[in-house]
């Protein structure tokens, strides 16, 4: 009775507050659930939206809007017949070129006559999609609908044997958007099923799995309710990538926090006859670790806001909101939810008051911890050697960036069409480099750009941009002024008009816009044009956008990783009130991260056959692995510290590992499985992040937290708590 009375010290008003907050979160989570499907409406998946305003390609993009009222995404429809196009095929293609002009969302002025390959087996029709009208961007779902209408028209009534595909930047961009369609359904369903199966195995209960999963769904609903209006009003940028990571992070981390709380609750139910008393005791024991974990992850994620890429800047807040909401739900709604339904939620293994909760004295993990304590130095040295060997393969990881065609794990229509187009037409057509320069230096800029390797050398390769509205009027008037001049460019009467003494120039590249060769041409163009006195020349366009995105991604990686380490070190120091232990934990997690990159490199290169990795991949993997991987060390070491206060350091390490071993391993398996679910989306980047985080979490859980950290801590002894008073206590 005295123990129960001590537990009941919190005032009733606090208990009522928890109950009231649980009801509010339940209502908010349920209301927020209806916004999950609407997140697609506020996504921005184009590279330009991710770049900072200081990027050269962003500045070009803004200036280019002054020359045309509508901005378009270049796209093509590709027709192929093995053996050569027939007259019937050519008639169909010509008819389609006329019909495309009537589709709303297509720029009719830029649809030219069909082009045919030299061997006569392939034709293409340029069908640019309107991506921006003035200052208003066309929503992604609308672009998808327009592209589908174009492809459906092209395939309708096609002669037997005529192959029809979309291609070009527009088609490939739409393929990206389509890859994220249904993310709220497919990803959540896959993650939910995985979590259910694992929880059924962990709890061996047909009932208990529902409580952590339902609480995670409530947390996701609350998160969405916050993220949706922020994205809608451009406070942050949401893309399909960050939405997918938000979903799996909330489900995975939520289940982790729930496992820790439920495990402690089950432990206390063996000591308290009243379930409310048991929950209060469990909350007091688990809440500090859960809160510290959430704070560590939130701060680590918010460090992404220090980067240049808008996608990184917003991914941090989006996922940080998710983690904060998850921790809040798991520390308020879940406890009330569990207490409300009683002990039967653990059926058939219902915990009774039998004082059998001391897991440190029995069970598989107790035996494992005792053996580890017998030869700790051998354990941590051999484990470290294995991790270092895995880390050695890190040098083979390729992070030069993925071309658009290499970015899919599947083969969407636009990829098939792009391969046909690349094999039969100039790869640089349709997505030129865009140069903005002062009008009085136009001739010098054109001459210098024409000499840059990688810029097409044929007539009309470097010209002032065409004003397609003027061109359409000229065609309608059957004007003879449409004939190109000696330089291959259309006459000034059909070109864009200078604005504020500035002019826009297109430079056709010899390579496709998303290739390393095109990026090299962008670098060469800037090197050649920037020194021209008085030109103030800027180089943008699709290739420059991709190149600047990769450069900003590499910059963010090099800046943010050291900052995250410092932030987590400070949090651990405050939590553990020591310096040696936090340094030890950081060192082990970094070693685990390096080993994960090494193993990932082997799998990416030799098992999955991925062409490359995005420059931002190491940053994403690092933030999630270190922030989440440190969670398990926090769960372990907070319990070790608690046990050390009563039993001494080395005994506390054994007892801490014994008590937390099962629940932390289960939590790691759940989190790894939820991140692995990212592989259901047909994008290489998410598949790579999903694999790396899943493998890294398992490595942290099974090897680092279970062997390396406790063995090394046991070998060092009480000095791990230096300079706190525990360093002078019992070893």
Task: Determine the Cα–Cα distance for residues 236 and 258; give it in Å rounded to an integer.
Answer: 29
- Same domain, yes or no, for 140 and 3? no
Give a yes or no: residue 563 inside a domain.
Answer: no
Percent over 70 (pLDDT), the chain: 95
Give a yes or no: residue 711 inside a domain.
Answer: no
CB 691 within 8 A of CB 679: yes
CATH number at residue 255: 1.20.1640.10
- Same domain, yes or no, for 254 and 286? yes
Last residue of a domain, one of 342, 357, 372: 357
How many domains does the chain fold into?
2
The answer to whether residue 358 scores a pLDDT higher than 70 is: no
What is the 8-class DSSP label of residue 208? T
> What average pLDDT does the structure give for the chain?
86
Give a yes or no: residue 336 inside a domain.
Answer: yes
| Short-list 162, 166, 5, CA closest to 90 | 162
Give a yes or no: residue 387 inside a domain.
Answer: no
The string of DSSP codes covering 498-564 is PBTTEEEEEE-BSS-TTSHHHHHHHHHHHHHHTTSTTT--EEEEHHHHHHHHHHHHHHHHHHHHHHH
Q: What is the pLDDT of residues 190-231, one digit of tens each?
A: 878 888 888 888 788 898 889 999 999 999 999 999 999 998
Task: Give φ, ψ of 86 to 5 degrees.
Answer: -90, 170
- Same domain, yes or no, for 241 and 128? no
Q: What is the pLDDT of residues 254-293, one digit of tens each?
A: 988 998 899 889 888 988 888 888 898 899 888 988 898 8
Last residue of a domain, one of 113, 138, 171: 171
Q: What is the pLDDT of residues 405-453, one digit of tens each?
A: 888 888 888 899 989 998 898 888 778 999 999 999 999 999 999 999 9
Task: Determine the Cα–Cα distance for residues 231 and 415; give it in Å rounded to an integer.
Answer: 30
- Same domain, yes or no, for 339 and 200? yes
**What is the predicted pLDDT for the residue at 11?**
45
- Same domain, yes or no, for 49 and 128? no
* Range 383-392 average pLDDT: 95
- Same domain, yes or no, for 215 and 326? yes
Give a yes or no: residue 99 inside a domain.
Answer: yes
* Residue 485, number of CB atoms within 10 A of its CB: 12
CA pseudo-torsion sign 242, 246, 247, 248? positive
- Same domain, yes or no, for 10 and 93? no
Q: What is the pLDDT of residues 42-62, one digit of tens each?
A: 777 655 567 777 889 989 988
**What is the predicted pLDDT for the residue at 355?**
57
- Same domain, yes or no, for 89 and 2? no
CATH number at residue 91: 3.30.70.1710
- Same domain, yes or no, for 232 and 195? yes
Q: Is the pTM of this model over 0.85?
A: no
Give a yes or no: residue 158 inside a domain.
Answer: yes
- Same domain, yes or no, for 143 and 101? yes
Confidence of residue 73 (pLDDT cuts 50, 70, 90): confident
Give a yes or no: residue 198 inside a domain.
Answer: yes
- Same domain, yes or no, for 199 and 342? yes
Give a yes or no: residue 151 inside a domain.
Answer: yes
Last residue of a domain, one of 134, 150, 171: 171
Dihedral of CA atoms 383, 387, 388, 389 in degrees, nearest 10, equals 100
The answer to whether residue 7 scores a pLDDT higher than 50 is: no
Residue, of 212 and 245, whose pLDDT is higher: 212
- Its domain, for residue 289, covers 1-54+182-357
């Amino acid at each position: 009775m005295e123990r129960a009375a001590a537990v009941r010290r919190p005032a009733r008003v606090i208990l009522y507050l928890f109950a009231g907050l649980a009801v509010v979160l339940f209502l908010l989570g349920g209301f927020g659930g209806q916004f999950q499907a609407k997140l697609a409406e506020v996504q921005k998946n184009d590279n330009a939206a991710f770049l900072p305003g200081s990027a050269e390609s962003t500045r070009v993009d803004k200036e280019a809007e002054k020359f045309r009222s509508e901005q378009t995404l270049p796209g093509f429809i590709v027709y192929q017949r093995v053996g050569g196009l027939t007259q019937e095929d050519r008639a169909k293609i010509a008819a389609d070129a006329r019909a495309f002009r009537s589709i709303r969302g297509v720029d009719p002025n830029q649809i030219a006559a069909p082009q045919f390959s030299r061997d006569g087996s392939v034709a293409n029709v340029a069908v640019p999609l309107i991506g921006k009208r003035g200052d208003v961007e066309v929503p992604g779902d609308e672009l998808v609908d327009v592209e589908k209408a174009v492809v459906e028209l092209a395939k309708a009534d096609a002669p037997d044997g005529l192959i029809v595909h979309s291609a070009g930047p527009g088609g490939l961009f739409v393929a990206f958007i389509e890859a994220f369609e249904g993310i709220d359904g497919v990803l959540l369903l896959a993650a939910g099923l995985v979590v259910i199966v694992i929880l059924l195995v962990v709890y061996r209960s047909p009932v208990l799995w529902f409580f952590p999963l339902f609480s995670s769904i409530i947390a996701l609903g609350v998160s969405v309710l916050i993220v949706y209006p922020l994205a809608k009003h451009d406070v942050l940028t949401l893309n399909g990538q960050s939405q997918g990571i938000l979903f799996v992070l909330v489900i995975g981390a939520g289940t982790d926090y729930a496992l820790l709380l439920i495990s402690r609750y089950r432990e206390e139910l063996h000591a308290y006859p009243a379930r409310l008393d048991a929950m209060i005791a469990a909350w007091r024991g688990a809440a500090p670790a859960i809160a510290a974990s959430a704070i560590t992850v939130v701060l680590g994620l918010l460090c992404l806001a220090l980067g240049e890429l808008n996608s990184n800047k917003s991914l941090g807040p989006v996922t940080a909101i998710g983690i904060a909401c998850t921790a809040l739900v798991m520390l308020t709604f879940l406890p009330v939810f569990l207490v409300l339904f009683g002990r039967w939620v653990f059926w058939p293994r219902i915990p009774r008051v039998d004082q059998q909760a001391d897991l440190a004295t029995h069970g598989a993990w107790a035996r494992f911890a005792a053996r580890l304590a017998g030869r700790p130095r051998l354990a941590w040295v051999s484990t470290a050697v294995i991790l270092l060997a895995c880390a050695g393969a890190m040098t083979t990881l390729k992070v030069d960036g993925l071309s658009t065609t290499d970015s899919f794990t599947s083969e969407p229509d636009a990829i098939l069409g792009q391969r046909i187009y690349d094999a039969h037409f100039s790869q640089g057509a349709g997505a030129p480099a865009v140069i903005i320069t002062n009008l009085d230096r136009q001739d010098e800029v054109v001459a210098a750009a024409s000499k840059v390797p990688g810029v097409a050398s044929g007539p009309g390769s470097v010209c002032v941009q065409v004003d397609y509205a003027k061109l359409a009027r000229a065609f309608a008037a059957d004007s003879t002024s449409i004939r190109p001049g000696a330089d291959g460019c259309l006459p000034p009467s059909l070109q864009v008009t200078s604005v504020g003494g500035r002019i826009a120039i297109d430079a056709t590249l010899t390579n496709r816009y998303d290739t390393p060769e095109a990026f090299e041409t962008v670098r060469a163009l800037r090197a050649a044009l920037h020194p021209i006195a008085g030109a103030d020349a800027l180089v943008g366009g699709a290739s420059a956008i991709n190149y600047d995105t990769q450069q900003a991604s590499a910059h963010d990686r090099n800046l943010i990783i050291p900052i995250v380490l410092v932030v987590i070190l400070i949090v651990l120091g405050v939590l553990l009130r020591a310096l040696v232990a936090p340094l030890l934990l950081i060192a082990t997690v970094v070693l685990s991260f390096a080993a994960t990159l090494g193993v990932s490199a082997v799998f990416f290169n030799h098992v999955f056959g991925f062409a490359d990795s995005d420059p931002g991949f190491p940053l994403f993997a690092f933030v999630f692995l270190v922030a989440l991987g440190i969670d398990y060390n926090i769960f372990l070491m907070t319990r070790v510290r608690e046990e050390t206060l009563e039993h001494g350091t080395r005994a506390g390490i054994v007892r801490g590992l014994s008590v937390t071993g099962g629940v932390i391993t289960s939590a790691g398996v759940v989190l790894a499985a939820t991140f692995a679910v990212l592989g259901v989306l047909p994008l290489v980047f998410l598949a790579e992040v999903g694999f790396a985080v899943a493998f890294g979490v398992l490595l942290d859980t099974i090897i680092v937290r279970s062997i390396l950290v406790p063995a090394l801590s046991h070998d060092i002894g009480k000095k791990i708590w230096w300079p706190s008073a525990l360093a002078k206590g019992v070893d």
